[in-house]
Chains A and B, each alone.
Chain A
């Protein structure tokens, strides 16, 4: 793990992995979505709209997974001062926010035919919306810290504190009455028919690879910006 604390070593690996992760993820998730559209049968209760599952659920998982990554990277940055941890946390924020937004929008689209409403202020939907606002706040804080040359400690602490929302999202359908269904997939168990479960898991793998590819691309961009700034500063000092 500490071997990758060296940005040069990390960049060598990232250069090799970024495009395959992005292209592989797009191909796998595209294939799963096409299969979901053309080959999956309609559900007995939800009818054709069950196909929204293949986008809504993976993006929900990755929205929560993105913040979990921010929290872990923030902890590593605060405790061990790993030079890449803060960059990894910042890189996870934008894909996490985009996948959370896609989850909310596709959930709203699904809610109209399934529940008869686009939105309800229940525990699951509200805590997911809070997650999106937490992402916006984190992106703004981290951007301001980088722009002003301030310490990364404040975004890192915010990343850790914000993680309290992740278990709340997960347990919201158990703790409160909700239009949203209770968890269909838990560790080792699934209430979903295999006809829907397999394309869902393949789509989740595809979207996860895209998340990884985007995160590496953003880490490379952030590292390149830091290197450019350092080079320009050195040139000014030498002049």
Chain B
């Protein structure tokens, strides 16, 4: 028997994966950059 699939559930799941993954990537890269530059400035004695 063919199961009934709500297509919107699949669209929502794919959007969630894409949006959350992209936001995590952008946010983590930005924070890692800020932390690395703060460490460099500290080492320079700024």
Write the residues of chain A forming the contact surface with B, with a CB cutoff of 8 angstroms.
Answer: 18, 22, 25-26, 29, 33, 37, 47-49, 51-52, 55-56, 59, 94-95, 98, 101-102, 105-106, 109-110, 112-113, 207, 210, 213-214, 217-218, 220-222, 224-225, 227-228, 231-232, 235
Write out the residue numbers on chain B whose beta carbons fall within 8 Å of the beta carbon of A220: 33, 36-37
Instruction: Name B1-46 residues within 8 Å CB distance of A.
Output: 5, 7-8, 10-11, 13-15, 17-19, 21-23, 25-26, 29-30, 32-33, 35-37, 39-40, 43-44
CB distance from A105 to the nearest CB of B (A): 5
Which residue of B5, B23, B30, B39 is within 8 Å of A228 (Cβ)? Answer: B39
Q: Is the CB of A113 within 8 A of B17?
A: no
Write the residues of chain B forming the contact surface with A, with a CB cutoff of 8 angstroms.
Answer: 5, 7-8, 10-11, 13-15, 17-19, 21-23, 25-26, 29-30, 32-33, 35-37, 39-40, 43-44
Write out the residue numbers on chain A whose beta carbons fall within 8 Å of the beta carbon of B33: 18, 217-218, 220-221, 224
Q: Is the CB of A231 within 8 A of B40?
A: yes
Give bound CA distance, A221 to B33, whole Å.
Answer: 4
CB distance from A18 to the nearest CB of B (A): 7
Given A22-B30, A48-B11, A59-B18, does the pair A221, B25 have CB atoms closer than 8 Å? no
Given A59-B18, A224-B36, A232-B43, does the pair A49, B29 have CB atoms closer than 8 Å? no
Which residue of B14, B25, B29, B37 is within 8 Å of A55 (Cβ)? Answer: B14
Give bound CA distance, A126 to B29, whole Å.
Answer: 28
Give bound CA distance, A112 to B5, whole Å.
Answer: 9
Give bound CA distance, A207 to B39, whole Å.
Answer: 30
CB distance from A139 to the nearest CB of B (A): 14
Write out the residue numbers on chain A whose beta carbons fall within 8 Å of the beta carbon of B8: 48
Write out the residue numbers on chain B whose beta carbons fall within 8 Å of the beta carbon of A221: 29, 32-33, 35-37
